């Protein structure tokens, strides 16, 4: 049986941050500020560790990923540090958001007749294209940008890859690690998801679906934001051998592909049928995906009433908001930090992605993290 443990996390989304997460979920849950995404800034502790030429290639996605990755690694290494050999074998799994500005410049250059009327005008405007394809700009657009910087900063060279599965992306990274790590030489992995609802491709889709109102955001069904979340996971062998104190143990990971835009009640019922019988009878805490779209939360609850005898519900998106790929992992991190969920409880995290299907992560909470973890 697969055995994987969560030993650290990092989060920067809406009003939630790593250092204050436990306190926010304890004291301020009803009146968290409505923080709009600002300019991404590297943590002061990271800046001296990144070479000047590497800083020139950073994007907002990479900066946020480095910040939460640093928090997750700091938390995981509070008691037992990873050795250089262990880091050399550790994997990195990331999501990614497509950066469109390069494509827009190329398309404008290609489609404009003005540039191609004669040789003189072509050479006159060539500088714009040269700037667009400058090597540093190209590196910034690669889907492996965050993975490269995370790997280099922490010295993690066990492999990995970026994954894009819409809102299911973050949970899919954890599922990948759950099944891959026990079969590899690695004893751990760094998982990092990033999402941004202000990006044109995300915002326009949700606007056309009637889920967000860009002119009057308070009228939106889905309250979008940008953010990043990270986990450090370790194998059972390392946790047992070094007596690491984990935050939770991953018990099961299930996903089902579907081309539907939203998961139905029947989709969730079929997914729950794949769980171990004892899980369904454990009076679990279930964290809903419910992103605010009409009918999404209702389908989840109806399926739970058909699949489980008893359960407790949690919804964290009213405070974490919604940032696409981070969705499931942010819910998971909030559940780990939520003091109303006692250690020992079984937690089920829901995930869903348009045209991708749905996922379930089952874990048993081991402990509540301290409030201050970042270096």
Asked whether residue 276 is domain-assigned, the answer is: yes
| Residues 197 and 50 both lie in one domain | yes
**68 membership: H or E segment, kind and range:** helix 60-76
| Residues 284 and 198 both lie in one domain | no
CATH (domain of 35): 3.40.47.10
Q: How confident is the model at residue 375 (pLDDT cuts 50, 70, 90)?
A: very low
Q: What mean pLDDT is reported for the chain?
A: 85
Asked whether residue 342 is domain-assigned, the answer is: yes
| Residues 109 and 96 both lie in one domain | no
Beta partners for residue 10, in sequence order:
230
Name the E strands within the chain.
4-13, 16-17, 91-95, 160-163, 188-196, 226-235, 248-256, 285-287, 312-314, 346-353, 357-365
| Mean pLDDT of all residues in 37-63 | 88
The three-state secondary structure class of 37 is coil
Domain closes at, from 116, 136, 156: 136
| Residues 54 and 118 both lie in one domain | no
| Residues 121 and 151 both lie in one domain | no
Q: 145 near 56, Cβ under 8 Å?
A: no
Asked whether residue 115 is domain-assigned, the answer is: yes
| Residues 348 and 254 both lie in one domain | yes
Domain that holds residue 127: 101-136
| Residues 180 and 304 both lie in one domain | no
| Model pTM above 0.95 | no
| Residues 121 and 60 both lie in one domain | no
Our count of domains for the chain comes to 3
Q: 26 near 46, Cβ under 8 Å?
A: no
Domain closes at, from 242, 263, 288: 242
Q: What is the pLDDT of residues 193-214, one digit of tens each?
A: 999 887 767 777 777 777 777 6
| Residues 260 and 285 both lie in one domain | yes
Q: 65 near 94, Cβ under 8 Å?
A: yes
Asked whether residue 8 is domain-assigned, the answer is: yes
Which pair of structure tokens corresponds to residue 298? 């209702």
Beta partners for residue 92, in sequence order:
160, 190
| Mean pLDDT of all residues in 177-190 | 91
């Amino acid at each position: 049986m697969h055995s994987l443990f969560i030993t650290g996390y990092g989060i920067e989304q809406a009003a939630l941050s790593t250092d204050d997460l436990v306190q926010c979920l304890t004291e301020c849950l009803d009146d968290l500020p409505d923080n709009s995404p600002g300019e991404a800034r590297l943590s002061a502790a990271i800046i001296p560790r990144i070479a000047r030429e590497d800083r020139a290639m950073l994007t907002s996605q990479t900066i946020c990923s480095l910040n939460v990755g640093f928090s997750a690694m700091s938390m995981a290494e509070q008691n037992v540090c990873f050795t250089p050999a262990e880091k050399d074998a550790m994997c990195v799994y990331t999501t990614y958001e497509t950066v469109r500005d390069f494509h827009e410049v190329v398309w404008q250059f290609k489609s404009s007749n003005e540039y191609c009327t004669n040789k003189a005008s072509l050479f006159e405007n060539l500088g714009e294209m040269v700037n667009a394809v400058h090597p540093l700009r190209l590196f910034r657009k690669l889907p492996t940008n965050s993975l490269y910087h995370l790997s280099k900063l922490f010295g993690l060279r066990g492999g990995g890859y970026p994954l894009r599965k819409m809102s299911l992306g973050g949970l899919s990274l954890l599922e990948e690690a759950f099944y891959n790590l026990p079969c590899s030489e690695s004893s751990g992995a760094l998982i990092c998801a990033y999402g941004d609802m202000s990006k044109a491709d995300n915002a326009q889709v949700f606007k056309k679906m009637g889920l967000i109102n860009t002119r009057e955001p308070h009228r939106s069904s889905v309250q979008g934001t940008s953010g990043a979340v990270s986990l450090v996971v370790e194998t059972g062998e390392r946790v047992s051998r070094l007596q690491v104190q984990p935050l939770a143990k991953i018990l099961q990971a299930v996903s089902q592909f579907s081309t539907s835009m939203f998961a139905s009640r029947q989709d969730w019922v079929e997914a729950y049928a794949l769980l171990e019988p004892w899980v369904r009878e454990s009076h679990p805490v279930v964290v809903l995906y419910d992103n605010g779209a009409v009918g999404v939360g209702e389908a989840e609850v109806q399926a739970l009433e058909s699949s489980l005898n008893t359960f407790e519900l949690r919804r964290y998106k009213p405070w974490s908001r919604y940032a696409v790929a981070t969705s499931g992992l942010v819910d998971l991190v909030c559940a780990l930090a939520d003091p109303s969920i006692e250690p020992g409880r079984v937690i089920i995290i829901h995930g869903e992605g348009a045209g991708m299907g749905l996922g379930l992560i089952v874990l048993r909470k081991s402990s509540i993290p301290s409030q201050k973890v970042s270096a």
